[in-house]
């Protein structure tokens, strides 16, 4: 039976560390680190995520504001707001909550974010620094996955096969680069992959970031695999389920993240950590 990679417990530890760093920053610079979040429209899931981020930031001693804009906001208005936040020296981190309403060009908005304030790690500059293995602000969800491995003592990946299912910058591509940096041999699977079960069968680490409920079956996994389930899917009855069949996978894996309570809480903790890192770097 797999051990649980407990994102609630590990994220609490990360948040406590962030709180201490935020307090030290505040006494050194006479102001707390500041995170500004931009939320456009009424997407219910985004509203919940933003509320969680707001609450977690306040608890960690990070100041901030949520800019709530109507769904019909224009590209120019949104980009102008990002420009204002870039120019304000008291703001350390800017996060544009995705997805944006369909009429808006999310990439163009992200391209406007000052890389030194890019706490979501999604600007081209941040992506380039990650790819090149240079210091920079990393995307929060993949960083959160890597921190789970580190805290559980599972981060020695030399000689291991890692399979990442999904190729978004937000998760799949970014964690593939992070796993590579830890010397794993990495395969990236996606919707055109011919035989996902066969790819899973040779993976010591499986990261599922797809958005398809219980796509990955327990019977596909190698005995003793480490499973990081990034997926968050809402069933008709309102409950949440990951991209991995948790029951089946638990019988074969050595470690597994639950959904909820696995990767999700880590994402928020790493956003707070990125905000403090950005603040410290900006103040030199």
HEC string for the chain: CCEECCHHHHHHHHHHHHHHHHHHHHHHHCCCCEEEEEEECCCHHHHHHHHHHHHHHHHCCCEEEEEEECCCCCHHHHHHHHHHHHHCCCCCEEEECCCCCCCCCHHHHHHHCCHHHECCCCCHHHHHHHHHCCCCCCCHHHHHHHHHHHHCCCCCCCCCEEEEECCCCCCHHHHHHHHHHCCCEEEEECCCCCCHHHHHHCCCEEEECCCCCCCECHHHCCCCCEEEECCCEECCCCCEECCECHHHHHCCCCEECCCCCCHHHHHHHHHHHHHHHHHHHHCC
**Nearer of residues 165 and 205 to ligand NAP, judged by Cβ:** 165
Q: How many CB atoms lie within 10 A of CB 23?
A: 13
Q: How far is the CB of 251 from ligand NAP (least distance, A)?
A: 22
Of the candidates 92, 97, 173, 222, the residue annotated as catalytic is 97
Q: How far is the CB of 193 from ligand NAP (least distance, A)?
A: 6
Q: How far is the CB of 85 from ligand NAP (least distance, A)?
A: 22
Q: How far is the CB of 153 from ligand NAP (least distance, A)?
A: 22
Q: Is 111 known to be catalytic?
A: no
**Nearer of residues 87 and 194 to ligand NAP, judged by Cβ:** 194
**Nearer of residues 32 and 41 to ligand NAP, judged by Cβ:** 41
Of the candidates 92, 114, 118, 120, the residue annotated as catalytic is 120
Q: Is 114 known to be catalytic?
A: no
Of the candidates 53, 117, 173, 222, the residue annotated as catalytic is 53
Q: How far is the CB of 139 from ligand NAP (least distance, A)?
A: 9
Q: Is 19 known to be catalytic?
A: no
**Nearer of residues 40 and 63 to ligand NAP, judged by Cβ:** 40
Closest Cα to residue 40, out of 99, 122, 88, 91? Answer: 99
- Residue ranges that bind ligand NAP, judged by CB under 6 A: 141, 165-168, 170-172, 189-193, 196, 209-212, 215, 230-233, 263-264, 267
**Nearer of residues 91 and 165 to ligand NAP, judged by Cβ:** 165
Residues classed as catalytic: 53, 97, 120
């Amino acid at each position: 039976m797999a051990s649980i990679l407990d994102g609630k417990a590990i994220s609490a530890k990360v948040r406590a560390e962030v709180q201490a760093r935020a307090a030290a920053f505040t006494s050194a610079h006479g102001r707390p680190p500041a995170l500004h979040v931009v939320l456009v429209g009424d997407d219910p899931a985004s509203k919940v995520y933003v509320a969680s981020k707001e609450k977690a930031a306040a608890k960690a001693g990070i100041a901030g504001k949520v800019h709530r804009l109507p769904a019909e906001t224009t590209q120019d208005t949104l980009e102008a707001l990002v420009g204002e936040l870039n120019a304000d020296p008291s703001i350390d981190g800017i996060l544009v909550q995705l997805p944006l309403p369909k009429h808006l060009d999310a990439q163009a908005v992200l391209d406007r974010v000052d890389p030194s304030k890019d706490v979501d790690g999604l600007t081209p500059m941040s992506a380039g620094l990650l790819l090149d293995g240079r210091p920079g602000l990393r995307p929060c969800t993949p960083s959160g996955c890597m921190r789970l491995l580190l805290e559980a003592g599972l981060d020695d990946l030399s000689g291991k096969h890692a399979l990442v299912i999904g190729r978004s910058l937000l998760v799949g591509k970014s964690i593939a680069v992070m796993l590579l940096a830890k010397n794993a041999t990495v395969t990236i699977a996606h919707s055109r992959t011919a035989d996902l079960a066969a790819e899973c069968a040779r993976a010591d680490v499986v990261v599922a970031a797809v958005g398809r409920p219980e796509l990955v079956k327990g019977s596909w996994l190698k005995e003793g695999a480490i499973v990081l389930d990034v997926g968050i899917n809402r069933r008709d009855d309102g409950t949440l389920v990951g991209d991995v069949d948790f029951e089946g996978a638990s019988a074969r894996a050595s470690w597994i993240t639950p959904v909820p309570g696995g990767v999700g809480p880590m994402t928020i903790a790493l956003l707070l950590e990125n905000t403090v890192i950005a603040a410290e770097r900006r103040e030199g």
